[in-house]
Structure 1
Amino acid sequence: MDSCERGVVVVVKSMEVVAPFAPLRVHRLPMSNLDLLFPPFDVGVLFFYDAGSLKTEMMIRMMKKGLSQVLVSFYSLAGEVVLNNEGEPEILCNNRGVDFVQAIADRELRRLNLHKLDVSVYANFFPVKKRGVLSVQVTEMKCGGLVIGCSFDHRVADAHSITKFLVAWADMTRSNHSKDYKIASVSSPDYCRSLLEPRNPIHPDPALNNMYMLVEDASVDSPQAPPVFHLQSRIYKINACQLQHLQSLAGPNRTKFEAFSALLWKLLAKAATEDKKRCKLGIVVDGRDYLNKSMENYFGNVLSAPYSDASVVELKSMPLSEIADKVHACVECAANNEHFRGLVDWIECHRPRQPMYKIFSFLPSDTEEVAVVVSSGQHFPVHKMDFGWGHPSVMSVFFPWEGTTGYVMPLPSATEDGDWIVYMHLSEKHLDFVEKEAPHIFEPFAFTGPLKASKL
């Protein structure tokens, strides 16, 4: 199927399924309690590569071969999500494979509007996953560059897990080309669900009722039907000097991430016209550092999303350092072993009913202004996404969430100079306000540097 969006024409050349190189025994892999927090929805990553020295067809053949090899270890990504007898999702590891789309675009890479992803990027370069767990689309650009888009089922893996897979795929592909097979000697993913088993007896913390809820209760508690409220996706660049200045304003012992989150929270409050309204800020916390040292290679979801809320008038009046303290306290309430063990137990005592992060039940109303979840992508090794023709010039996540809670993820710049590339999924009103209120910090992303000659 062809796609034409605002002048960008993308034509699909081929569609195939890349299966594991060595199929494994068909079996079912249960999801952990923390996996069950996610509804069925897909998220993705996009990588933008300038033209390299290799021909495009060769690069794509290399990628397919490397993918088939790493799927042997990352076999859950080659399966499908099905329901068990209790109506809960689990992974059918059946070696189905990954849908792989090859396409071609009539636009140079650096002529793409990456600031407003919804305009020309999402519809053209982000694969729509129809079956399975993972889908890939590789698009050849007019200049010889490549756009690699990956869409995956969030119920199966979090960002940490997908990062492990992506780096392994790049390493395998590069090692095949260079014949240096030491490159591909990566650790295999750990699917041991016993690492996240509930305690016996279980000890759910009643305080978790303030952060989590059941899906069935979300609809009951809603005072009205969701209004027409469409979120948009945009990418910004934040200069390293601005980040250092923000950190200094946030006070001693505050990270750049905490300073950034505090600034965002304050800006969203300033966008409100009614001081009585509330603004919610959630922070994604990875539990691997707090549960067990052996969880570095665990493949699945190990996330919590505690949140804090404050009135518009409070946030407007508070200095950035006080807001940063509130952000820090929000993180600290979940950054410990007991929180995650208690969360596993809390979910266990409600099964098979569907749990969810409470902040994602947000609806704008007369008393609620905005809710946003901020997740740090600063540990993503952009420089390691080298398939054999160099690392990407830009990367971004994509979060096509249909709800009304916003999502923001700061990522490292591929230039490794301390700059951030920030993905923001918010309402048009809030995005426009942020751009107008802090243009010196939130710079609409644009490619820089000369266009490279075509290698086609």
Structure 2
Amino acid sequence: MVIGCMFDHRAADGYSANMFISSWADLTRSETPSMYPSFNRSILNSRSPTTYSSSIDNVFATFVPPPMPEINVQNDDDNGDDVLVNRVYYIEGEQLKRLQMLASENGSRRSKLEAFTSFLWKLIALCFEDSGNHNQMCNMVLAVDGRSRLGKGDGKEKEKLMASHFGNVLSMPYGGKRSQELMEMTMSNVATEVHEFLHSATGKDHFLELIDWVEDRRPQPLISKAFAGRDMMSVMVSSGQRFQIMDKMDFGWGKVAFGSCHVPSARNDCYVMTLPSPTNNEDWVVYMHLPMKQMDYIEAHASLVFKPLDADYLKI
């Protein structure tokens, strides 16, 4: 049996989607949901007057629709290499520890997410360089949830409201490097770059400034600045390690055997999400929505890390 539901990211982020699905599972078993959603928008009201630094301009931009493609233009991608495809892998815990060790060789301990992001960033750059597309711009974006940051220091009630807030409370810091530079950098140096751009968006002040910045631009649509440019590759990495998709979720017939997200094939933005493994607490499941060329390169050159998810691994 498969259960699926579709969310529009303009209305809800992954945290909210997980809250909805978890509550749905609780209700099917006639149990009280562990968390009731809050739709209290006032907790995200902007300050008066609005105050923010220019650093927010390095995270988001006003969305400008791309020009309409010309009709009857010859498609250079005869092999379908640039078509985005969906694949799911698992990464063994030992491989994650190895990546973390390589990312921490400069003396600063990096998280598994920082290490994984650094490894993926280098792989994408190496794919460009090995295929003859030299010195391409590669952007790596990380989704940061602001709920715990915004609730910090304002009392238990505010923390509870923020934890149950249904909507979007995300920042999307990113780093941009040329593929040739990334190819020549060590894993630990790449991890330092990831840590620095990620750290810039993990404080409460950043999210307060972001709320004010967005308020001053209503009702204009906004976009992650990494995806606003042309002629570059940008990849969003999101962590679902805290989600209950494969931990406690039960719709009445036992523990969920496998859960993942899915990006429609028509979407042309690159997306990667890490999830907890349903069979081993040390492993990760990784969903990837990337160009065929990048995916094939990853499978050919990093098969010890990215292993295709199959029924044997899921024990079903």
Superposition TM-score tier, normalisation by shorter sequence: 0.7 to 0.9
Partners of 1:223 and 1:282 lie apart in 2 by 26
Structure-2 residue corresponding to 1:424: 288
What TM-score comes out, normalization by structure 1 length? 0.61
Cα RMSD after superposing both structures: 2.4
Q: In the alignment, which of 361, 374, 386 is matched to residue 250 of structure 2?
A: 386
Gaps of 5+ in 1: 1-145, 177-182
Equivalenced residue count is 294
Are 2:103 and 1:239 aligned? Answer: no
For 1:3-402, list aligned pairs within 5 A: 146-174=1-29, 176=30, 183-216=31-64, 219=66, 229-251=82-104, 252-272=108-128, 273-292=132-151, 293-294=159-160, 295-363=162-230, 365=231, 368=232, 370-381=233-244, 382-400=246-264, 402=266
SS of match in other structure, 1:200: coil
The secondary structure found in structure 2 opposite 1:397 is coil
Deviation at residue 419 of structure 1 after TM alignment: 1.1
Deviation at 1:224, TM superposition (A): 9.4
Higher relative contact order (CA 8 A, sep 6+): 2
Contact 1:205 1:343 in 2 (8 A): no
CA distance in 1, matches of 2:267, 2:25: 33
SS in 2 for 1:404: coil
Identify the residue that residue 116 of structure 1 maps to in structure 2. Answer: none
Task: From the superposition, tell whether residues 185 and 316 of structure 1 become closer, same or farther in structure 2 (CA, over 3 Å).
Answer: closer
Q: Which amino acid aligns with 1:151?
A: M
- Name the CA distance, whole Å, in 2 between partners of 1:234 and 1:157: 24
Q: What is the SS of the residue equivalent to 2:20? A: helix
CA contact (8 A) 2:86 2:287 kept: yes
Is the counterpart of residue 407 in structure 1 residue 271 in structure 2?
yes
* Equivalent position SS for 1:261: helix
| Residues 247-305 of structure 1: per-residue CA shift (max 9 Å, x gap) | 11110421111110000000000001233221100000000121112311111110011
The alpha-carbon deviation at position 385 of structure 1 amounts to 1.3
3-state SS of 1:384 partner: coil
1:437 aligned residue: 301
Query: Greater strand share, 1 or 2?
Result: 1
> In the aligned structure 2, how far is the partner of 1:151 from the partner of 1:206?
35
Shift of 1:376: 0.4
| Structure 1 residue 433 displacement after superposition | 0.4
Q: Secondary structure at the match of 2:36?
A: coil
- Partners of 1:247 and 1:451 lie apart in 2 by 28
**Identical columns (%):** 39
| Cα distance in structure 2, aligned partners of 1:291 and 1:441 | 35
| 1:334-367 residue CA offsets vs partner (Å, 9 max, x unmatched) | 101111111111111122222221222344x3xx
Determine helix, strand or coil for the equivalent of 1:309.
strand
Q: Are the structure 2 counterparts of residues 223 and 262 from structure 1 closer, same or farther at C-alpha, using a change threshold of 3 Å?
A: farther
- Tell me what 2:156 maps to: none
Contact 1:191–1:299 (CA<8 Å) still a contact in 2? yes
Query: Runs of 5+ in structure 2 lacking a partner?
Result: 152-158
